Chains A and B, each alone.
Chain A
Amino acid sequence: MLEYALLAGLVFGLYFSLVGLGLNLVFGVMRIVNLAHGDFLMLGAFGAFWLFNLYHLNPIATVFIALAVFGALGVPLYYLLVPRLQRARDPEMLSIILFFGLSQVIEALATVGFGPSERSIPGRVLGSGPVHVLGQTFPAAWMVSAAASALAVLGVYFYLYRTRLGYLTRAVMVHREEALATGIDVHRVSAIAFGAGLALAAIAGVFAPFMLGSATPAMGVDLNIQSFAVIVIGSLGNPLGTVLGGILYGVSLMFMQTYFSSWANLLPYLLLILILLVRPSGLLGRQVRRA
């Protein structure tokens, strides 16, 4: 039971790092809290569902479509919302409200368009039968989702550390004003990061039917909170810390399910508060405390 919970936690945690990754990228670059993150994830899930149902498109293919569509959607959305927001007195706080509004709009449109019921894609689409790993068996779809998550994380790593644009992105993350002063086109860099953030959310959404059982228009709220737990544990504003956060979250969740199942949902919140208080910068992060 112990080994199983540990391994399942690792697999599940990898997926959860993908779930939190986009949220963290957006926060890291723009210092805004995208409270509609979970709703973009939901849109990715419904996209995968419809493409599978109408054209029998494999979700793996949908991943690339989601990347293109949501990446392209993110750029204009950025210019529409964020520069205006950043002129306000307290953009970080106001972003929470702004994106809450956006999440309401998305949820409303999704409910009108898709109906309120749960939707899902058969598990066999991502590989049939259980898979044996280190003497334990796991659903094949889990392993595929976890592998895809790992690839997405590597992709973000490659982008940030091996491309020129990623180099500029990191400069903006470290200090927005200084980056601006040195002549970096902060808005362009941010817009691309915003698009990437939405795309990552949508990609995570493509796997949601397999990892979370089903998708509904209302699923975004819960996912936002879990994403927060993941990225705060890792470190808010540091996309790669998300992986550590995701795995820690996944493993501890599975342990709780095994030993104190009815208290399992208390865990992410306690972990989040505890880490913020003891090591407020997250396990891999920078200063966030005042006074």
Chain B
Amino acid sequence: MFRKLVFALLAASFAAFAGGARAAAAPAEIKIGTLYASSGNFAAISMPVHYGLKLWVEQMNAEGGVYVKPFHKKIPIKLIAYDDQSNTATAATLYNQLITQDKVDILVADSGSPLTSVAVPIARDHKMLLIDQTGTGAAFFSKDNPYIVLMSDPVSSIWPKYVADFLTQEGPKLGIKRIALLYATNDFTGTQANAVRGFIRAAHAPVEIVYDQGVPTNTTSYTVIINNIRATNPDAVITLGFPNNDISYLRNLQDSGVKFKWQFAIYPGLETEHLEKTVGVKGLEYVYTYTPSSVLEYKAEFGMSLPQFRAAWDKKYGEGKVAFGFNSVAGYTTGLVLQKALAGTESMEQLALRKAIFALSGKLKTIDGTFELNDEGAQIGEITPLGQIVPDGKGGLKFVVVYPPAATTGKPVYPAK
């Protein structure tokens, strides 16, 4: 007994000595620094992500903290969050504040590419790993920058792959030959439009793009554009825009009585409830969209399942001002990845964290799908399948996954009713 105790003490002191060079004692808290935009143009996409992350932090702290492997114990999280008001210059200052003054252990970007963009060089300069939540700009990722990793959305340059593949593979069988492409001219949707164009050309399928136009991102009136698209007689229409664009477009489409045989838009999938409220159920029927993790129940091997998350969200935020949807899942996913990474990392060094996060690639399956990274840190796993929103017969809507073939749950309704 005594011998055992001495042995244990010796072992413990040896371990303490060995680890002592870096950190003798575990810190009282793990500091996670992030920004959000409570107002301005990006508030609508930033707040749900931030609330999703906050939910995870509070859950962890309710359990006594997050397990951090280098210290072999649970440590409470301190979330330091500042409001950048959708202003990129302010965001830059605040990122720097988090790094240099608050000395956070983990730096999490605000949502969306514009507010993430300014953090990329700052994080790199300070050798901090930027936990990029939904900033999907392709230009952020390069071989020579190890200090960024994209959590929750696929990088814009591959996100629309299934949309294009469906049109080139299945399209000709359905009689789709003429495609119209309308996009909002910003990095997020512009890059996706380029990707769609590239995928379609590369496929050498018997389809052609007959309408290809960009519109300014703050466009609010689409009636004339819809009329112009109709004049080109397309079999399929792809519109890529932000929520405000999709809402205006789909409303104008419905109100003007035009019905395209095949219509794709991004946000009916990503923020379904929000669009149901603003566009109405009728306006979303038979629209194709990204099937999001917030409806397509991925088998979450780690973290809450979708119904659990939904319940926790409603309990915490109620029928609130911040919409539940894909973005709220994205924020929560960031938390899950961090949780796994902290449980697996060798040390709290930034590059060790990076290594721990990369080790999860292809293995971590959450509510958001399979987490998978390319070697530049861009997310390539959580690609959303192509789904069609159809009436569920009870006055509501449901998703039918139509592509890729391995994931399908039904046949596309073409032409749309």
| A residues adjacent to B (C-beta < 8 A) | 1, 4-5, 8-9, 12, 107-108, 111, 114-120, 122-124, 129-130, 137-142, 211-214, 216-218, 222, 253-254, 257-258, 261-262, 264-265
B186 to chain A, nearest CB (A): 11
Measured CB to CB, the nearest residue on chain B to A7 is B224
* A254 with B220: CB separation less than 8 A: no
* A222 with B252: CB separation less than 8 A: no
Known: A116-B43, A211-B220. 20 other contacts (CB 8 A): A1-B228, A1-B231, A108-B39, A114-B321, A115-B321, A116-B38, A120-B279, A129-B257, A140-B255, A213-B244, A213-B251, A213-B278, A214-B248, A218-B86, A222-B218, A254-B224, A257-B215, A261-B213, A261-B214, A265-B219
User: In whole angstroms, how far apart are the Cα atoms of A262 and B213 in the complex?
Assistant: 7
Measured CB to CB, the nearest residue on chain A to B275 is A118
Q: Say whether B355 faces chain A, with CB atoms less than 8 Å apart.
A: no
Interface size on B, residues (CB 8 A): 45
* A218 with B215: CB separation less than 8 A: no
Q: Say whether B19 faces chain A, with CB atoms less than 8 Å apart.
A: no
User: In whole angstroms, how far apart are the Cα atoms of A211 and B252 in the complex?
Assistant: 9
* B323 with A117: CB separation less than 8 A: yes
A222 to chain B, nearest CB (A): 5
Q: Say whether B347 faces chain A, with CB atoms less than 8 Å apart.
A: no
Subset of 16 A-B contacts with CB under 8 Å: A1-B227, A4-B227, A5-B224, A114-B321, A115-B322, A116-B321, A118-B247, A118-B274, A120-B277, A129-B257, A130-B255, A137-B257, A139-B255, A141-B255, A213-B221, A261-B215
**Chain B 215-236 against A: per-residue CB contact (8 Å), 1 yes, 0 no?**
1101111011101100100000
* A142 with B255: CB separation less than 8 A: yes
Q: Say whether B27 faces chain A, with CB atoms less than 8 Å apart.
A: no
* B216 with A116: CB separation less than 8 A: no
Q: Say whether B256 faces chain A, with CB atoms less than 8 Å apart.
A: yes
* A8 with B39: CB separation less than 8 A: no
* A265 with B44: CB separation less than 8 A: no
* B39 with A217: CB separation less than 8 A: yes
Q: Say whether B254 faces chain A, with CB atoms less than 8 Å apart.
A: yes
Find A130's partner among B41, B213, B257, B278 (CB 8 Å cutoff). Answer: B257
Chain A residue numbers with a CB within 8 Å of B221 are 12, 211-213, 253, 257
Measured CB to CB, the nearest residue on chain A to B86 is A218
User: In whole angstroms, how far apart are the Cα atoms of A49 and B223 in the complex?
Assistant: 22
User: In whole angstroms, how far apart are the Cα atoms of A212 and B41 in the complex?
Assistant: 16
Measured CB to CB, the nearest residue on chain B to A116 is B43
User: In whole angstroms, how far apart are the Cα atoms of A138 and B223 in the complex?
Assistant: 8
User: In whole angstroms, how far apart are the Cα atoms of A139 and B227 in the complex?
Assistant: 12
Find A213's partner among B43, B248, B280 (CB 8 Å cutoff). Answer: B248
* A130 with B39: CB separation less than 8 A: no
Q: Say whether B47 faces chain A, with CB atoms less than 8 Å apart.
A: yes
* B247 with A115: CB separation less than 8 A: no
* A262 with B215: CB separation less than 8 A: yes
- How many interface contacts (CB-CB < 8 Å) are there between A and B? 127
Q: Which of B44, B86, B251, B277 has the most CB of A within 10 A?
A: B251
User: In whole angstroms, how far apart are the Cα atoms of A265 and B43 in the complex?
Assistant: 23
Q: Say whether B395 faces chain A, with CB atoms less than 8 Å apart.
A: no
User: In whole angstroms, how far apart are the Cα atoms of A220 and B220 in the complex?
Assistant: 13
Chain A residue numbers with a CB within 8 Å of B393 are none
* A216 with B44: CB separation less than 8 A: yes
Find A138's partner among B47, B256, B320 (CB 8 Å cutoff). Answer: B256
User: In whole angstroms, how far apart are the Cα atoms of A118 and B279 in the complex?
Assistant: 10
User: In whole angstroms, how far apart are the Cα atoms of A137 and B252 in the complex?
Assistant: 12
Find A8's partner among B223, B278, B279 (CB 8 Å cutoff). Answer: B223
Find A120's partner among B47, B213, B247 (CB 8 Å cutoff). Answer: B247
Q: Say whether B404 faces chain A, with CB atoms less than 8 Å apart.
A: no
Measured CB to CB, the nearest residue on chain B to A8 is B224
* A213 with B274: CB separation less than 8 A: no
* A122 with B244: CB separation less than 8 A: no
Find B43's partner among A4, A111, A211 (CB 8 Å cutoff). Answer: A111
Q: Say whether B145 faces chain A, with CB atoms less than 8 Å apart.
A: no
A271 to chain B, nearest CB (A): 15
Measured CB to CB, the nearest residue on chain A to B216 is A265
User: In whole angstroms, how far apart are the Cα atoms of A154 and B63 in the complex?
Assistant: 65
**Chain B 257-292 against A: per-residue CB contact (8 Å), 1 yes, 0 no?**
100000000000000001001111000000000000
Measured CB to CB, the nearest residue on chain A to B248 is A213
Find B247's partner among A130, A213, A218, A254 (CB 8 Å cutoff). Answer: A213
Chain B residue numbers with a CB within 8 Å of A111 are 38-39, 43
Chain A residue numbers with a CB within 8 Å of B323 are 117
Measured CB to CB, the nearest residue on chain B to A114 is B321
Which residues B303-320 have CB closer than 8 A to chain A? 320
Q: Known: A116-B38, A138-B256. Contact between A212 and B215, CB under 8 A?
A: no
Q: Known: A8-B223, A117-B274, A138-B223. Contact between A123 and B254, CB under 8 A?
A: yes
Chain B residue numbers with a CB within 8 Å of A211 are 220-221
Measured CB to CB, the nearest residue on chain B to A107 is B39
B111 to chain A, nearest CB (A): 12
* A116 with B223: CB separation less than 8 A: no
Q: Known: A139-B223, A141-B255. Contact between A117 and B322, CB under 8 A?
A: yes
Find B215's partner among A1, A214, A222, A264 (CB 8 Å cutoff). Answer: A264
Q: Say whether B185 faces chain A, with CB atoms less than 8 Å apart.
A: yes
User: In whole angstroms, how far apart are the Cα atoms of A265 and B185 in the complex?
Assistant: 11
